[in-house]
Amino acid sequence: MDYFDLNTNLTDEDIALRDAARQFAEKEMRPVARQLDLLSADAAVAEDSPLWPFLKKAYSLGYHKILLPEYYGGLGSSALQTSLIFEELAWGSFGLALLTTVVCFPFYLICITNEEHLIEQFVVPFCECTDGSIRGCWGITEPGHGSDHVNMGEAFFSSPKLKGDVRAKLDGDEYVINGQKSAWVSGGTIATHTMLHVQLDPSKGFAGNGICILPLDLPGVSRGKPLEKIGQRDLNQGEIFFDDVRIPKEWMFVDPDFYVPMIDMILNAANLSMANWSVGLSRAAFDEAFTYAQERIQGLSPIIDHFTTKQRLFTMFTRVEAARAYVRAAMELNLNISPPHVEYSIAAKTLGTDWAFENANEAIQLLGGNGLTREYLPEKLFRDARAAMIEDGNNEMLRQHGGHVLKENYPRGPLDF
């Protein structure tokens, strides 16, 4: 949507960053994403896959380190700039935008906890990487536990009956890790490092969890097959298994004392990212529908000239503009305060992904039969948007947690910067 930006205060730098991301999305992401979408999950990560040159290009431009502070070699973008870039990248491809970001997750979290020794060892090399060879992933979901991991407000979360599928036990100066993360780990079969959620103190259920950084070339680590799924097929996913994997105890950088507040911080970053990508997808759907409506003749005139089509396109436009305005506001709030007011980020994710799905659905409807074919983009947008309503927390589970946060914090006092 080459349209006026409601935010009229964008600086020249903001606009330059946005336009560069737009060009990258159009020229690099769209074609690669279309190719990957048609490949099998195995072929999408094979040696000759277009994924690898794409990642190399993305890293060389620094898109893998958008969320990381300049101080350690990250891009150090402002919240608004991150929002602008994320929207553009997801206009190119939601799945590839996510992959390009999730690679930074372990390193991002280390920066939040400010563990100097881990920053030198892990974060700096990641920021210096320009060829895509260091790739993180977020290992939280387990075969037996999906939503359970984000339901911190519910009593069961701290029940000793809640047994994690991945456990870590201290043995001298090392943790020994055993278990399995589910096939939903994004980048799971191709990552070099994971930010791994493990159960440390089973007597406290998941409130007894911790988080470690774990290089995935350690003895005892193995992977499952890349996952076949209907949406975001350009995003690799797969299981990771841990069989007596040993790590130095210093790599366990979040312990049970800090686990619950940390989950809110992670959810905050993940939900804000998802929200921004949703705006990009929603806008892509609008663009496809608008262009098609100008070209397709029915009733002797372009369908855009028909009264109902104008209404439908305008509703799509409204969803993009309203979601963007809200998502940016949530982003600017919650990337600039600590701890974040996570209910705003959850609202941004759930609203953004729901509206992205509605726009993708309407785009198919406006393209008629063509909308159902692979020749046109909306069917991919529809599949990608569908996955986003489950990704990083089912929307209904997120709303449940958001309701809990509201109840705990209402009324919020004034911000104390």
Ligand X SMILES: Cc1cc2nc3c(=O)[nH]c(=O)nc-3n(C[C@H](O)[C@H](O)[C@H](O)COP(=O)(O)OP(=O)(O)OC[C@H]3O[C@@H](n4cnc5c(N)ncnc54)[C@H](O)[C@@H]3O)c2cc1C
Binding site for ligand X (CB under 6 A): 102, 138-141, 146-147, 151, 184-186, 232, 387, 390-394, 396-397
* Closer by beta carbon to ligand X, 57 or else 349: 349
* Closer by beta carbon to ligand X, 94 or else 286: 94
- Minimum CB separation of residue 199 from ligand X in Å reads 14
* Closer by beta carbon to ligand X, 129 or else 140: 140
- Minimum CB separation of residue 388 from ligand X in Å reads 7
- Minimum CB separation of residue 180 from ligand X in Å reads 12
Nearest residue (beta carbon) to ligand X: 146
- DSSP E strand stretches across 44-188: 136-139, 166-171, 174-181
* Separation of alpha carbons 333 and 199, rounded Å: 32
Tell me how far apart the 2 most distant CA atoms of the chain are, in Å. Answer: 79
- Minimum CB separation of residue 391 from ligand X in Å reads 4
- Please, are residues 70 and 209 in contact by the beta-carbon 8 Å criterion? no
**Three-state DSSP class for 166?**
strand
Helix/strand number for the chain, H first, E second: 13, 10
* Separation of alpha carbons 37 and 384, rounded Å: 10
Q: What is the DSSP letter of 313?
A: H
* Closer by beta carbon to ligand X, 140 or else 304: 140
Give the residue from 106, 44, 79, 25 showing the smallest Cα distance to 287: 25
* Closer by beta carbon to ligand X, 73 or else 106: 106
**Three-state DSSP class for 295?**
helix
SS3 content of the chain, % helix, strand, coil (to 5): 55, 15, 30
- Minimum CB separation of residue 166 from ligand X in Å reads 11
- Please, are residues 64 and 129 in contact by the beta-carbon 8 Å criterion? yes
- Minimum CB separation of residue 17 from ligand X in Å reads 26
* Closer by beta carbon to ligand X, 377 or else 387: 387
Give the residue from 58, 145, 123 showing the smallest Cα distance to 95: 58
* Closer by beta carbon to ligand X, 141 or else 271: 141
- Minimum CB separation of residue 237 from ligand X in Å reads 6
